């Protein structure tokens, strides 16, 4: 089965302006994400999807491929859906451009999991977290069959009587069946999506099946200055960095 990696990236981030081009160990943040996606054995091709000529130029300078998209997309999923219109694949893997320390093996794990669960429209992997109170981290709850029930920036499950054994956050590697990505692009923003500012709630609210797989690792998205500082520190001793 053919899988293509699509990395949505833009310059208009508000909490950390122009973060895609901020340099970590000599390379722009989005280039780290691209290089790591290129190391994944499961991806046949990797493209950065952007409306920024500056980002496109940087990608090209570092031997990457890019697809120019419109500037009016409301989220990264809409952006990659446009990019996928002229591509052929069984799965499109949304590798969000702000995770410079992602593990290529995790991409492969997600693709394999989706191949094993073709009844799922989307696969959104999850990692354990110790501090679910942080609002810019999206939390996951799922049923016993690993189908996601809800996503929230709030603490879920809420420890009303006792604290759960673990909390989960989503990892920004999202696998879409080709038809599922096309279907998502036809849907309007949903009430839950607008309330939580979590784009995959649109899929769940419209009855699409979203599954998860528990992964190990310590990848995180760079959303604020503290995240960027942590990424700079971690990159200095990162084993994957030695491979590109």
Residue 9 to residue 186: CA distance in whole angstroms? 21
- Sign, Cα dihedral of 216, 89, 72, 61: positive
User: pLDDT value at position 223?
Assistant: 87
9-33, pLDDT tens digit by residue?
Answer: 999 877 888 999 999 999 999 999 9
pLDDT in tens, 163-203: 999 999 999 999 999 999 999 999 999 999 999 999 999 99
CB-side neighbour CA atoms (13 Å) of 118: 3
3-243 has which CATH code?
A: 3.90.550.10
Q: pLDDT (tens digit, 9 = 90+) per residue, 30-61?
A: 999 999 999 999 999 999 999 999 999 999 99
DSSP characters over 16-72: STTGGG-EETTEEHHHHHHHHHHT-TT-SEEEEEES-HHHHHHHHHTT-EEEE--S-
Q: Please state, rounded to an integer, the average pLDDT across all residues of the chain.
A: 95
Please give the average per-residue pLDDT across 105-125, as a whole number.
98
pLDDT at 17: 87
Using an 8 Å Cβ cutoff, are 143 and 230 in contact?
Answer: no
**pTM of the complete model:** 0.94
């Amino acid at each position: 089965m053919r899988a293509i990696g699509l990395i949505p990236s833009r310059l208009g981030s508000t909490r950390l302006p122009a973060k895609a081009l901020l340099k970590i160990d000599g390379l722009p943040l989005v280039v780290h994400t691209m290089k790591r996606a290129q190391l994944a054995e499961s991806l046949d091709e990797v493209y950065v999807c952007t409306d920024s000529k500056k980002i496109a130029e940087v990608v090209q300078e570092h031997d990457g491929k890019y697809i120019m998209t419109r500037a009016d997309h409301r989220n990264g999923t809409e952006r990659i859906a446009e990019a996928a219109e002229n591509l052929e694949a069984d799965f499109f893997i949304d590798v969000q451009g702000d995770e410079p320390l992602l593990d290529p093996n995790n991409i492969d794990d997600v693709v394999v999991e989706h191949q094993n669960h073709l009844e799922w429209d989307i696969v959104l992997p999850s990692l354990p977290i110790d501090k679910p109170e942080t609002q810019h981290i999206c939390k996951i709850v799922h049923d016993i069959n690993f189908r996601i029930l809800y996503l929230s920036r709030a603490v879920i499950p809420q420890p009303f009587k006792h604290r759960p054994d673990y909390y989960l956050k989503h990892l920004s590697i999202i696998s879409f069946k080709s038809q599922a990505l096309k279907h998502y692009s036809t849907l309007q923003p949903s009430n839950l999506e607008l309330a939580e500012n979590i784009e995959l709630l649109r899929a769940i609210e419209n009855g699409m099946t979203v599954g998860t797989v528990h992964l190990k690792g310590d990848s995180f998205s760079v959303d604020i200055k503290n995240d960027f500082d942590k990424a700079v520190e971690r990159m200095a001793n990162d084993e994957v960095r030695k491979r590109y």
